[in-house]
Amino acid sequence: MLAGVLTSVAAGICLLLVVLMLVFLLWYTWPAIRYNGLSILNDMTWNIGNQYGTGSSVHNGVAAEPGAEFGGLVFLVGTLLSALLAMVFAVPLALGVALTIVYRLPERLRLPVNALIELMAGIPSVVYGLWGTIVLVPWVGNRVAPFVTHHFGFIPFLGGDAGSGNGLFAAAIVLAIMVMPIMVATVRDVLLAQPKSIFEASMALGSTSWQAVTHAVLPSVRTGIVGAILVAFGRALGETMAVLMVAGNAINILPHNIFSPINTIAAVVVSQLESAVSDASGVAQRSLAELALVLFVISLTVNTVARVAIRGQDRSH
Amino acid sequence: MVSRVTRNVAISRLWWVLCISSLVGALLVLLSLFGFVFVRGVAAIRPEIFFTVTQGIAGGLANAIVGTLLLVTLAIVLVVPVGIGAAVWVTQFAPDRLRIVVRLSIDVLFGVPSIVVGYFLYVALVETAGWGFSLVAGSLALAIIMLPYVYRAADLAFSAVPRDLVEASVALGARPLTTFVRVAFPWALPGTLTGLLIGVGIAVGETAPLIYTAGWSNYMPTLAPTHSPVGYLTYVVWTFINEPFKQSHQLAYAAAFLLMIAIFVTNFVARAGVEYWASRTRSHS
């Protein structure tokens, strides 16, 4: 009986942790929510106010330093854009890799390839960031960006300033590489769980192996693939260090093309805290917590939809 | 007619070539990453870095190595009773409805970005509770990040304990606790340990949740639970690469190299564990 009580306490901790996090962040953030109103979502300017000025700026009964404005639009846009662009790169790549593993790889290569993909998923974010800073960013800045802006500049969002390499494009590439292994593993498992007869029946009817995959197998695992994409998307939204190191730390400016510096919510929480701590009114720190809360809610939503999709796939066979 | 078949076969070939090249591309990226970290890392490793602490932008990594070990060890101590305890409760004691709720909350925890965990503990423990940057705050952050990995592995492992073994033990007159300790626990241990190792690999490589909980220190970590910041390897990689000095870059490469070695080892042992576990399960059935 004692064992039952002790282990139920452990389960209770697991259960309460998420609730505690949400409630505490909400309580801590409350003054910032009142001060900022909707501007946390639709205002471009992040400014902790004049720390040496007199008087204060008051919104809804909450006082911050004069001129203080906590707009999160730039970070919200950066988060969504970088994660979406990462999906554009990662989804076809991951599908190709997963299909190759399941339908084309000789048996004896499967184990080592799976092991490498798994290893890729375990590489720390800062190591991707280090590689991104030293290898990827100079390559983007010196080769890719000048080439693309010069030859494809007529396409909206591809033209204009080629930039230094730090920016949306580099962030999306690093994110794509980081989330690809998760997506490959999920899609591979979904494909392997599907009865082999679907593929074989289609082949027996005279289709090519690619037709069998696109017309018979993939339609039957559609929801599972959507789930895998959403899980990866959720990861990309919350990724911090690698993005922080290559995204270019944009403040108060929206990206004008694919190579522009950006910033994400996760990255800005790290990079702006030091300055936020110097805000004597404390609203800056609470506004960062509000941004963290926004990220929390977005991730929660994306993951819930992903779970429903994957659950639906499990039920269909 | 023939031409259409030939065309379809050609299209099929073309797409498969694209799929295979995406795998080759992914492996090339991995190769570039490994090559980069290992070449620069091996060149940067000197024996002294294991014995000297960081001094501003130079020196060694002794404080960061010890700090990472301390933070992860304490995180293991914190996460093991909670993660495994919860899994035991869910698989052995829980009513159906609560079982679903616990599993759901673990799934939610999996989706929480690590920076959110870090910022939550920063405002709750470092600021509101006044602990300051500290070992316990940092380890708690790592423990929360490891929890879903440990819980899921333990839940799977305990759910996979064969019923006939448990029933045989009960039929022989063993008390529930004896059955659990002598039959279910040994069976579930390898799977649980594998999950724990994967969690350790994740924890060793974490940065974001530590920056504002463990802080950073150029000195050897003390064992003080609070009010004493702790250094760790990932911080060195992140900050020292942006310093304009060659010595600090060397330290960043060395730290990245050590991290990769640690991840390699935990990954390898975890995989070997999975194989061992799978072979044992097969031999039973």
pLDDT at A235 over 60: yes
Q: What's chain A's average pLDDT? A: 90
pLDDT at A317: 52
Mutate to test the interface with B, among A2, A14, A271, A304 (most CBs of B within 10 A): A14
Question: What is the mean predicted confidence (pLDDT) over B238-252?
Answer: 90
pLDDT at B205 over 80: yes
d(CA A300, CA A233): 12
Residues B30 and B63 in one domain: no
pLDDT higher for B2 or B45? B45
Residues B40 and B52 in one domain: no
> CATH number for the domain including B146?
1.10.3720.10
Q: How far is CA B139 from the centre of its chain?
A: 13
In the DSSP assignment, the letter for residue B54 is E
Please indicate if any CB of chain A lies within 8 Å of the CB of B261: no
Q: Which residues pair with A244 in a beta bridge?
A: none
In the DSSP assignment, the letter for residue A153 is T
Q: What tokens appear for A250 in the block?
A: 């944009």
For residue B274, what pLDDT band results from cuts at 50, 70 and 90? confident
For residue B226, what pLDDT band results from cuts at 50, 70 and 90? confident
Q: Which helix (H) or strand (E) holds B73?
A: helix B62-88
Mutate to test the interface with A, among B112, B206, B242, B258 (most CBs of A within 10 A): B112
For residue A316, what pLDDT band results from cuts at 50, 70 and 90? low
Q: Residues A268-313: pLDDT tens digits?
A: 999 988 888 888 888 899 999 999 999 999 999 999 888 888 777 7
How distant, in Å, are the alpha carbons of A2, A11, B90, B152 from that of A5? 5, 10, 12, 20
3-class state of residue B132 by DSSP: coil
Q: What tokens appear for B73 in the block?
A: 């060890």
Closest Cβ–Cβ partner in A14, A118, A269 for B151 = A14
Contact between B285 and B161 under an 8 Å Cβ cutoff? The reply is no
Residues B37 and B52 in one domain: no
pLDDT at B283 over 70: no
Closest Cβ–Cβ partner in A116, A129, A239 for B30 = A116
Please indicate if any CB of chain A lies within 8 Å of the CB of B94: yes
Please indicate if any CB of chain A lies within 8 Å of the CB of B80: no
Residues B141 and B23 in one domain: no
Q: Which residues contact A141 (CB under 8 A, 6 or more apart)?
A: A162, A163, A164, A165, A166
Residues B71 and B14 in one domain: no
CA dihedral B83, A241, B26, A97 (to 10 degrees): 50
Q: Which of residues 160-199 of B touch A (CB under 8 A)?
A: 177, 180, 198
Domain residue extents for chain A: 73-315
Please indicate if any CB of chain A lies within 8 Å of the CB of B81: yes
pLDDT at B279 over 80: no
3-class state of residue B64 by DSSP: helix
All residues of chain B having their beta carbon less than 8 Å from the beta carbon of residue A184 are: 26
Mutate to test the interface with A, among B80, B97, B108, B115 (most CBs of A within 10 A): B115
Q: Which residues contact B275 (CB under 8 A, 6 or more apart)?
A: none
Question: What is the mean predicted confidence (pLDDT) over B100-115?
Answer: 91
Please indicate if any CB of chain A lies within 8 Å of the CB of B223: no
All residues of chain A having their beta carbon less than 8 Å from the beta carbon of residue B115 are: 238, 240, 266, 269-270, 292, 295
Cross-chain Cβ contact B123/A125 below 8 Å: no
For residue B236, give the chain A residue with the closest CA. A126
Q: Tokens 């989804």 sit at which residue? A: A91
For residue B256, give the chain A residue with the closest CA. A127
Instruction: Quote the percentage of chain B above a pLDDT of 70.
Output: 97
Residues B100 and B164 in one domain: yes
Contact between A258 and A169 under an 8 Å Cβ cutoff? The reply is yes
Q: Residues A81-103: pLDDT tens digits?
A: 999 999 999 999 999 999 999 99
Cross-chain Cβ contact B113/A295 below 8 Å: yes
Question: What is the mean predicted confidence (pLDDT) over B89-102?
Answer: 90
Residues B33 and B130 in one domain: no
pLDDT at B240: 92
For residue B257, give the chain A residue with the closest CA. A127
Question: What is the mean predicted confidence (pLDDT) over B101-112?
Answer: 91
Closest Cβ–Cβ partner in B116, B205, B238 for A296 = B116
pLDDT at B152 over 80: yes
Domain A73-315, CATH homologous superfamily name and number: MetI-like (1.10.3720.10)
Q: Distance from A290 to chain B by nearest Cα, in Å?
A: 10
pLDDT at B76: 97
Q: Which domain holds residue B187?
A: 48-284
pLDDT at B190 over 80: yes
The answer, yes or no, to whether ipTM is higher than 0.90 is: yes
pLDDT at A127 over 90: yes
Residues B118 and B39 in one domain: no
pLDDT at B208: 93
Q: Which residues pair with B55 in a beta bridge?
A: B58
pLDDT at B1: 55
d(CA B266, CA B264): 6
Q: What's chain B's average pLDDT? A: 90
Residues B34 and B111 in one domain: no
Q: Which residues pair with A59 in a beta bridge?
A: A62
pLDDT at B281 over 70: no
For residue B272, give the chain A residue with the closest CA. A115
Q: Which of residues 50-79 of B touch A (CB under 8 A)?
A: none
For residue A274, give the chain B residue with the closest CA. B212
Cross-chain Cβ contact A129/B89 below 8 Å: no
pLDDT at B64: 95
pLDDT at B144: 97
Number of domains in chain B: 2
Q: Tokens 């609560």 sit at which residue? A: B98
Q: Residues A31-55: pLDDT tens digits?
A: 999 998 888 888 888 888 887 877 7
d(CA B54, CA B224): 20
Instruction: Quote the percentage of chain A above a pLDDT of 90.
Output: 60
Nearest residue to B92 (alpha-carbon basis) of B149, B170, B145: B170
3-class state of residue B58 by DSSP: strand
3-class state of residue B245 by DSSP: coil
How distant, in Å, are the alpha carbons of A36, A61, B92, B122 from that of A25? 16, 20, 34, 11
Contact between B94 and A11 under an 8 Å Cβ cutoff? The reply is yes
Cross-chain Cβ contact A296/B113 below 8 Å: yes
pLDDT at B285 over 70: no
pLDDT at B2: 64
Q: Which residues contact A226 (CB under 8 A, 6 or more apart)?
A: A306, A309
3-class state of residue A69 by DSSP: strand
Q: Distance from A162 to chain B by nearest Cα, in Å?
A: 22
Closest Cβ–Cβ partner in B29, B105, B263 for A124 = B263
Residues B13 and B111 in one domain: no
DSSP character string of A178-200:
HHHHHHHHHHHHHHHHS-HHHHH
pLDDT at A2: 79
pLDDT at B233: 95
Cβ burial of B61 (10 Å; 0-12, 13-18, 19+) is buried
Cross-chain Cβ contact B85/A11 below 8 Å: yes
Cross-chain Cβ contact A100/B20 below 8 Å: yes
How distant, in Å, are the alpha carbons of A310, A312, B54, B67, B227 from that of B222? 46, 51, 15, 9, 10
pLDDT at A8 over 70: yes
Contact between A102 and A192 under an 8 Å Cβ cutoff? The reply is yes
For residue B282, what pLDDT band results from cuts at 50, 70 and 90? low
Instruction: Quote the percentage of chain B above a pLDDT of 90.
Output: 61
Q: Residues A150-201: pLDDT tens digits?
A: 999 899 888 888 888 999 999 999 999 999 999 999 999 999 988 889 999 9
Q: What tokens appear for B118 in the block?
A: 């870090």
pLDDT at A253: 87
Closest Cβ–Cβ partner in B113, B177, B267 for A3 = B177
Cross-chain Cβ contact A11/B90 below 8 Å: yes
Q: Tokens 């039952």 sit at which residue? A: A4
Contact between A312 and A251 under an 8 Å Cβ cutoff? The reply is no
